[in-house]
A and B are shown apart, each in its own frame.
Chain A
Amino acid sequence: MNRHSAILILICICILHISNGCATLWKAGSGEIETEHWAVEIPKDWMRLETGDYQMFSKYGPYLQYFLIQTRLLDRPFRRSKGKMTPDMLPHEAAQTLINDLRADPGIRRLEVTENRPVLVNGHMGFKLCYCYQDALGVTKQTHLYGMISKPYFISLRYTAARRHYFDENLADFERVLKSFRLSPT
């Protein structure tokens, strides 16, 4: 085998390895999903991506639409605004902290908050935030976000999708997911 062939084979092995590695990041995500902090029922045919403090679910690819469930330590500052949630925060204060961070994000343009009200999430006092914005490519995205403080975490369930076509298509799925959501007893 000459040197040229060896290099080609090495490149192919690397590509296979990388693509295989990428493929294992997303896995089938349907059915009951249970974590240390919460449990939820995800619809059929959805894929799941699990990272440190959030789980993402998508049917058509995260750029088009996704659900995101995040468990965030309260004293962790938000990236843009540097604001923090605190254990004694009331729902409207937590919502405002989130809005401040969205407003400070230069990647979020034409932000419009269309709804901001108190809700109960699995019996816990929380808030619902609805907003739309344009991303860096000029695509209009829409988000419904439900958040609550469950010490020592801020837990949020978010549905974001391209406003055109995708958002309405999967809104009912998100609402079912929301209804199935329950905090772990601990």
Chain B
Amino acid sequence: MKPMMMSTLIGLLIILFIPQFSDAAGNDYHKGNRSIQKQLEAFAQAEQQDFEQRGLLLQNQDLTEYLTKVTEKLRTGAASFRPGLRVLVLKHTSEDAFVYPNGICYLSTGLLTCLDNEDQLAMAIAHEMVHYLQQHSLRAYYQSRPSLQISLSNPHERVSSEDQKKERPLPNMLISVELEADREGLRLLAAAGYRSTEALGLMKHLITISEKTAGGAIDHPEVRATLNRRIEALTSVLAEAKPSDGKPSVPVAEGTRFRHLLAPAFLANAHAAITNENWGLAKENIDHYLMVDSEDPKAYYLLGEIFWKKSRDPNNQKALDSFRRAIVLNAQYAPPYRAMGLMHLKAGRTGKARDYLETYLALIPGADERLYIQQYLNLCEK
């Protein structure tokens, strides 16, 4: 899967920036491994702080609890002493999932909003869980440092120079860890009682997405080839597995109930899509969200933003109607007042602009953009 592959690559690019570890400890394999692991974790932490500082994390308690619950179900099938995985959500429209060596896994809102049910969500998490539990990033680090010549399987054995030549180069290794994550992820999925066949459903979504964005950033022959290879491998594993009746052995969320649980992701993804001027995606996400909650003023505000910014017409009636609806639903919710004030200002209706902008500042006197709004109010006075 291009997104997961690229995510792993991104994680590994982080690794490649770390200065080469000098095995001054000689035969002390475990000490060396722990040191590298700590370096990787420190780097991961710096990246994660950056995400927080950029405001990329989606903070929603209900969604976080739901993702934690799914992760815990999968964890029961994993035999490992490593601390548990923690799943967070990034506000980004790309369909992405990646995990850091310190056990923090990120799912993008773009990925969450393309899933059909909890089984597919569980497969995405299970895949990342395997990367983490099997320490694939550490393995890739060593793969990228052939001079270290330390065998992971036997700490007392040094890989001979002849064997080094036979080692698979890094790109092949990345593909093999993806296949391993799929295979073992499927095992975790089944052990937790989810429907294994839905793993294919997830992969097919990703193929569809890569086809939709043909010619775009994620359309690449190697990526497509890897995705297809993974589908083949998964199909083969599923064919060998015991046939099931297609029903999960644990309650899973799907359809409206699943969308309800992921609703915050739809809203956040719509917002991210508006920032990227991806109006089609933004509208699609808002429509999904409104099916779950048709009385949320924030959704109508974002809908108004879509209509207005797409048309760039300060007289756009759909935009004005959406903002008005948001105000009707909650008269104390400030952003639609600002939006209407700015629309009227741009249309030359300074009287109405003044009324809305003054209301906005009355609701949020400490607004970040209050100096701008005050300047615009001065323009209305002239």
Contact = CB atoms under 8 A, between A and B. Distances in A.
B49 A88 contact: no
Contacts of A116: 368-369
A125 B276 contact: no
B296 interface: no
A124 interface: no
B348 to A, nearest CB: 12
A181 B173 CA distance: 56
Interface string A78-120: 0001111010101110000000100100000111100011100
Given A90-B342, A110-B49, A84 B371 contact: no
B312 A86 contact: yes
B276 A103 contact: no
A88 B345 CA distance: 11
A120 B275 CA distance: 26
B295 interface: no
Given A81-B275, A84-B277, A90-B342, A118 B375 contact: yes
B371 A117 contact: yes
B276 A83 contact: yes
Contacts of B375: 91, 118, 125
B165 interface: no
A79 to B, nearest CB: 12
Interface string A14-37: 000000000000000000000000
Given A110-B50, A111-B54, A91 B372 contact: yes
Contact of A103 (B54, B345, B369): B54
A83 B275 contact: yes
B374 to A, nearest CB: 8
Given A112-B53, A116-B368, A88 B312 contact: yes
A90 B372 contact: yes
Nearest to A125: B375
Contact of B371 (A82, A83, A88, A118): A118
Interface string B241-257: 00000000000000000
Contacts of A91: 372, 375
A88 B368 CA distance: 21
Contact of A110 (B53, B277, B372): B53
**Interface SS majority for chain B:** helix
Interface residues of B, number: 20
A88 B346 contact: yes
A80 to B, nearest CB: 10
Contacts of A83: 275-277
B29 interface: no
A88 B277 CA distance: 16
Given A116-B368, A118-B372, A81 B276 contact: yes
Contacts of B276: 81-83
B279 interface: no
A92, A109, A116, A125: residue with the most chain B Cβ atoms closer than 10 Å:
A92
B376 interface: yes
A92 B346 CA distance: 13
30 contacts: A81-B276, A82-B276, A82-B277, A83-B275, A83-B276, A83-B277, A84-B277, A86-B312, A88-B312, A88-B346, A90-B345, A90-B346, A90-B372, A90-B376, A91-B372, A91-B375, A92-B372, A100-B275, A103-B55, A109-B46, A109-B50, A110-B49, A110-B53, A111-B53, A116-B368, A116-B369, A117-B372, A118-B372, A118-B375, A127-B372
Given A86-B312, A103-B55, 20 more contacts: A81-B275, A82-B277, A84-B277, A88-B312, A88-B346, A90-B342, A90-B346, A90-B372, A90-B376, A91-B372, A92-B369, A92-B372, A103-B54, A109-B46, A110-B49, A110-B53, A111-B54, A118-B375, A125-B375, A127-B372
Interface of A: 81-84, 86, 88, 90-92, 100, 103, 109-112, 116-118, 125, 127
